[in-house]
């Protein structure tokens, strides 16, 4: 019979892989909670339009979409941000602000097969809604950095490239790009590093068609802008390109203030000024950022930014927002590359060795009492000799073997062997705190 395989881009997690993923997600949860974020969860399946209208062209082409048995056009979530915006918008009156929420779950994108990109991947999202000041941007960027530092990663492993859609829009407006063409031009800029010069030129021609703006001239300025690495030079270039526009110096002030706040939070050294970061998703409005590994393949670890219009566009009272998403695939690949991949250890602490089959009931009583005290306990499901049981205790990774044998029971005790140190001792079976007497 033909054997079934997993679908391309879908993983199955055997226990060892699950233990590594579980460790990753637990670390993210702990960091997010240390920042005062609360966990939430959106549905996996949503109305198709939530994503076709809100996420943008690229994601639209990658949707796992179908018509359900009730004739509804639906899609598996490719991201969580539109659902978050709806959940917060729908209860805006009742939710405490600022809303600091995080979520961890699987997302689905029908991506072209490539290293680091799967069709089902876990993503950790953290977002702040209801706060428009850069204090929220700083808090989010700091959380992003700490969510990578928690694994022992540092400046030699990753950087956060910081761009700004607000400055792009100001610049493009003064170059004559109108609102209707703005998102199109921004998504071409987002492709700058990914496509050839000719392809870029063609895309820009198409995005500017009918506007009278020269693609060649604009591309030359864009190429200069994305090379700039200091706020001062950025300000000088833009003030020269958009003379007399008071919004430019005021935005440059925001840049300096944001870097200052990031300094206060101890993460400014991870940040590079980089207008090459525009972000592919349609809803971003202000500062945008992406974390890249700077060892190995240089892939994106996380991305995010400000999206002040999304809640309003879903039909609710407008609410400013900023957040990021971080994937499990590239982060675990990086951790493996630099030797920092760890696993959760859920192996049993205690293995109960049954001295002889007619003592199974007494042994089960010990098992039950230890489990009730929160100890992870395993024991043989089949009659087996001592040697085999000790082997199994080792194999499952237990630290202690607790032997329930006739001589010990007659003396009102169980024997304990620490399998790491070979130290042996007896513990009274009637002890009211069996767990701490055994685990010492
Ligand atoms: P995104 O840039 O599409 O942003 O995804 C963020 C991260 O998710 C990426 O940097 C990558 O680590 C991971 N990721 C995305 N697609 C895949 C894939 N096919 N396979 C493996 N990993 C992937 C968003 O999704 C935004 N919703 C983030 C956000 C939250 N913005 C504001 N709040």
- Decide if 1 is inside a domain: no
Q: Whose structure tokens read 């921004």?
A: 186
Structure tokens given for 127: 């977002």
Q: At what angle do helices 134-149 and 15-34 cross, to 10 degrees?
A: 140
Is residue 317 a contact partner of residue 198, using CB atoms and an 8 Å limit? no
Q: What is the pLDDT of residue 53?
A: 81
Structure tokens given for 67: 């018509």
Is residue 303 a contact partner of residue 80, using CB atoms and an 8 Å limit? no
Distance between Cα 172 and ligand 1 center (Å): 26
- Decide if 3 is inside a domain: no
Query: Residue 117: is it exposed, middle or buried by C-beta count within 10 angstroms (0-12/13-18/19+)?
Result: middle
Nearest CA to ligand 1 atom 14: 327
Write out the E strands in 242-283: 271-273
- Decide if 103 is inside a domain: yes
Q: What is the pLDDT of residue 2?
A: 78
Q: What is the pLDDT of residues 394-407, one digit of tens each?
A: 999 999 999 999 99
Distance between Cα 111 and ligand 1 center (Å): 12
Q: Is 30 helix (H, G, I), strand (E, B) or coil?
A: helix
Site to probe by mutation for ligand 1, drawn from 325, 332, 335 as the one with most ligand atoms within 8 Å of Cβ, is: 325
What ligand 1 atom has the least distance to the C-alpha of 331? 12
Q: CA angle, corner 52, sides to 288 and 326, nearest 5?
A: 40
Q: What is the pLDDT of residue 21?
A: 96
Is residue 400 a contact partner of residue 439, using CB atoms and an 8 Å limit? yes
Distances (CA, A) of 154 to 136, 158, 333, 337: 23, 7, 16, 14
Please check whether residues 153 and 27 belong to one and the same domain: yes
Nearest CA to ligand 1 atom 25: 79
Alpha-carbon radius of gyration of the chain = 28
Is residue 419 a contact partner of residue 393, using CB atoms and an 8 Å limit? yes
Please check whether residues 316 and 198 belong to one and the same domain: yes
**CB neighbours of residue 240 within 10 Å:** 9
Q: Whose structure tokens read 């206060």?
A: 264
Distance between Cα 122 and ligand 1 center (Å): 9
Q: What is the pLDDT of residue 180?
A: 92
- Decide if 10 is inside a domain: no
- Decide if 4 is inside a domain: no
Is residue 406 a contact partner of residue 355, using CB atoms and an 8 Å limit? yes
> Pick from 45, 117, 63: which is nearest to 299 by CA?
117
Total structural domains within the chain:
2
Peptide bond connecting 98 to the previous residue in cis, omega within 30 degrees of 0: yes
Nearest CA to ligand 1 atom 18: 117
Please check whether residues 117 and 212 belong to one and the same domain: yes
pTM: 0.94
What ligand 1 atom has the least distance to the C-alpha of 304? 31
Phi-psi region of 316 (alpha: psi -120 to 50; beta: other; left: phi over 0): beta
Please check whether residues 68 and 198 belong to one and the same domain: yes
- Decide if 7 is inside a domain: no
Of the residues 337, 364, 389, which one is the last residue of a structural domain?
A: 337
Query: Residue 217: is it exposed, middle or buried by C-beta count within 10 angstroms (0-12/13-18/19+)?
Result: exposed
Distance between Cα 119 and ligand 1 center (Å): 12
Is residue 102 within a helix (H) or strand (E), and if so which, with residue range? strand 99-108
Please check whether residues 393 and 307 belong to one and the same domain: no
Domain containing residue 360: CATH number: 3.40.50.800
DSSP string computed for 353-378: EESSGGGHHHHHHHHHHHHHTT--EE
DSSP string computed for 190-216: HTTTTS-HHHHHHHHHHHHTTS---HH
Q: What is the pLDDT of residue 280?
A: 82
Q: What is the pLDDT of residue 1?
A: 72
Euclidean distance between the first and the last CA atom of the chain, given in angstroms as a whole number: 53
Pairing of strands 271-273, 287-293: unpaired
Please check whether residues 157 and 282 belong to one and the same domain: yes
Name beta bridge partners: 165.
none
Q: What is the pLDDT of residues 104-113, one digit of tens each?
A: 999 999 998 8
Pocket of ligand 1 (CB under 6 A): 79, 81, 109, 111, 117-118, 121, 123, 125, 127, 281, 300-304, 323-327, 329-330
Distance between Cα 71 and ligand 1 center (Å): 29
Residue 362 domain boundaries: 350-438
What span, in angstroms and rounded, lies between the C-alpha atoms of 431 and 412? 10
Distance between Cα 265 and ligand 1 center (Å): 24
Q: What is the pLDDT of residue 55?
A: 76
Please check whether residues 128 and 232 belong to one and the same domain: yes
Pairing of strands 158-164, 271-273: parallel
What span, in angstroms and rounded, lies between the C-alpha atoms of 383 and 99? 56
Domain containing residue 293: CATH number: 3.30.930.10
Structure tokens given for 144: 């992003």
Please check whether residues 174 and 293 belong to one and the same domain: yes
Please check whether residues 208 and 169 belong to one and the same domain: yes
- Decide if 2 is inside a domain: no
Distance between Cα 300 and ligand 1 center (Å): 9
- Decide if 9 is inside a domain: no
Residue-level pLDDT, tens digit, the chain, 440 residues: 779 999 999 999 999 999 999 999 999 999 999 999 999 999 999 999 999 987 777 788 999 999 999 999 999 999 999 999 999 999 999 999 999 999 999 999 999 888 899 999 999 999 999 999 999 999 999 999 999 999 999 999 999 999 999 999 999 999 999 999 998 999 999 999 889 989 999 999 999 999 989 999 999 999 999 999 999 999 999 999 999 999 999 999 999 999 999 999 999 999 999 999 999 888 999 999 999 999 988 899 999 999 999 999 999 999 999 999 999 999 999 999 999 998 888 999 999 999 999 999 999 999 999 999 999 999 999 999 999 999 999 999 999 999 999 999 999 999 999 999 999 999 999 999 999 999 98
């Amino acid at each position: 019979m033909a054997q079934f395989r997993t679908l391309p881009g879908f993983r199955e997690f055997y226990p060892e892989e699950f233990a590594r993923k579980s460790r990753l997600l637990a670390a993210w949860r702990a960091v997010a909670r240390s920042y005062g974020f609360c966990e939430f969860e959106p549905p996996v399946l949503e109305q198709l339009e939530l994503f076709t209208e809100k996420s943008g062209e690229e994601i639209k082409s990658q949707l796992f979409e179908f018509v359900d048995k009730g004739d509804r056009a639906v899609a598996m979530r490719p991201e969580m941000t539109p659902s978050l915006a709806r959940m917060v918008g729908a209860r805006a009156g009742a939710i405490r602000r600022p809303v600091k929420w995080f979520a961890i779950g699987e997302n689905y994108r029908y991506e072209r097969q490539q290293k680091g990109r799967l069709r089902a991947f876990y993503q950790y999202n953290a977002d702040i809604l209801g706060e428009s000041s850069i204090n929220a941007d700083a808090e989010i960027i700091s959380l992003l950095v700490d969510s990578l530092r928690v694994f022992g990663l540092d400046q030699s492993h990753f950087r956060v490239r910081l761009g700004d859609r607000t400055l792009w829009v100001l610049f493009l407006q003064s170059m004559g790009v109108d609102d209707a063409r703005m998102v199109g031009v921004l998504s071409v800029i987002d492709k700058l590093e990914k496509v050839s010069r000719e392809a870029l030129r063609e895309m820009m021609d198409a995005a500017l068609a009918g506007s009278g703006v020269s693609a060649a001239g604009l591309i030359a300025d864009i190429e200069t802008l994305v090379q700039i690495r200091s706020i001062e030079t950025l300000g000088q270039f833009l003030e020269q390109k958009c003379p007399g526009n008071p919004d430019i110096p005021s935005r440059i002030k925001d840049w300096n203030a944001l870097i200052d706040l990031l300094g206060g939070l101890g993460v400014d050294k991870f940040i590079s000024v980089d207008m090459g970061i525009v972000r592919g998703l349609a809803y971003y409005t202000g500062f945008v950022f992406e974390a890249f590994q700077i060892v190995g393949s240089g892939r994106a670890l996380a991305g995010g930014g400000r999206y002040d219009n999304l809640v309003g566009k879903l039909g609710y009272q407008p609410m400013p927002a900023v957040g990021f998403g971080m994937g499990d695939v590239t982060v675990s690949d990086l951790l493996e590359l630099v030797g920092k991949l760890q696993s959760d250890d859920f192996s049993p602490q205690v293995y109960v060795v049954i001295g002889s089959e007619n003592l199974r009931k007494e042994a089960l009583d010990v098992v039950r009492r230890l489990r009730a005290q929160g100890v992870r306990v395993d024991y043989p499901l089949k009659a087996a000799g001592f040697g085999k049981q000790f082997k199994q205790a080792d194999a499952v990774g237990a630290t202690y073997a607790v032997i329930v044998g006739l001589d010990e029971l007659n003396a009102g005790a169980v024997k304990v062997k620490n399998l790491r140190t070979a130290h042996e001792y007896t513990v009274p079976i009637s002890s009211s705190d069996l767990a701490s007497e055994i685990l010492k």
